[in-house]
Amino acid sequence: MDLFEETTNWAEKLQPLIKTYQGKKHPLDYENLYQLMVMVILSAQDSDANINKIAPALFNEFPNLESIAVSNIEALIPYISKVRNFGTKASWIIEIAQTLKSDTNIPTNLTELVALKGIGRKSANVIMREMKVPAEGIIADLHVIRVAPKIGLIQEAKDGNKVEKQLMDVLPKEIWGEIGMAISFLGRETCRPTNPKCSVCPIQNDCQYPLKTI
C-alpha cells in the first residue's frame, strides 16, 4: 500500500479523530481573544502549562491591550520573567498593544494576524480555530509535526510551515479548522513519543505506524 497515494480518502478516515476532539478548547487557559493572543505569543518554545501558571497575575495587572499600550517592557517583564525568551516576547506584546490600541482591534484573519510581531502561521491558526472563524490554514504545532508523518498523512518535515502546506495539499478545506488541533490532542494524549497508546487510538485501523497493533 502506498502511504502517499493521492486517492486515499483521508477526510473520511480522519472523521473518528475529528469527532473525538471536535471543539475541544485549547490547553491554554484563556478567557477572551486578548488573553488568547498574548498567551499564544508567550507559549512559543515554552509549555502551555507554564503559561497558564503565570497568566492570572499577568492579566490581573494587564487586563486588556489598553493597559499594556500605556505601559512599557520593564513593567511587563516581572510578570513573564519565567517564560522562555521573555525579553523578546515583552517587546512584541508592547508593540502589538501600541499598534492595535484596543482589544476590539485584534484581527481574526490570517493575513492581519501574521503581520503582528510574534505571531506566525501556527499561532494565527490557533487563534482563528479558538475564535471559530473559517480556517485559512491548518495548525501545525510540535505535536502535529511529529504525529502527522507517523499516521502516514504526509512526508516527515521539521518545519511547521512545510508540514502545514503538505496537510493543506492532502486534506479538504472543510476539515482544516479542526484537524490540526485534533492531531495535536492525539499527540498529547495518545500518540506519545514513547509508549504510544495505539490500542485506544480512534484511527488505529488507518494509521500507518508500525506499532499500531500493540
pTM: 0.92
Residue 17: exposure state from Cβ atoms within 10 A (0-12, 13-18, ≥19): buried
At 188 the pLDDT is 96
Which residue bears the cell 480522519? Answer: 14
Is pLDDT at 116 greater than 90 in this prediction? yes
> What average pLDDT score do residues 28-56 get?
97
Tens of pLDDT along 6-40?
Answer: 557 888 999 999 999 999 999 999 999 999 999 99
> What average pLDDT score do residues 57-73 get?
98
Q: How many residues comprise the chain?
A: 214
CA–CA separation, 185 vs 166, rounded Å? 19
pLDDT band at residue 214 using 50, 70 and 90 as cut-offs: very low
What element of type H or E holds 128? helix 121-130
Window from 6-10, 124-128, 129-133 with minimum mean pLDDT: 6-10
> What average pLDDT score do residues 125-130 get?
98
Tens of pLDDT along 134-165?
Answer: 999 999 999 999 999 999 999 999 999 999 99
CA–CA separation, 160 vs 10, rounded Å? 20
E-strand ranges in 6-124 read none
pLDDT band at residue 209 using 50, 70 and 90 as cut-offs: confident
Tens of pLDDT along 159-193?
Answer: 999 999 999 999 999 999 999 999 999 999 999 99
CA–CA separation, 31 vs 29, rounded Å? 7
The CA-atom distances, in angstroms, between 167 and each of 42, 84, 88, 124, 149 are 26, 29, 30, 16, 10
Is pLDDT at 43 greater than 50 in this prediction? yes
> Which distant-in-sequence residues (6+ apart) come within 8 Å of 55 by Cβ?
29, 30, 35, 39
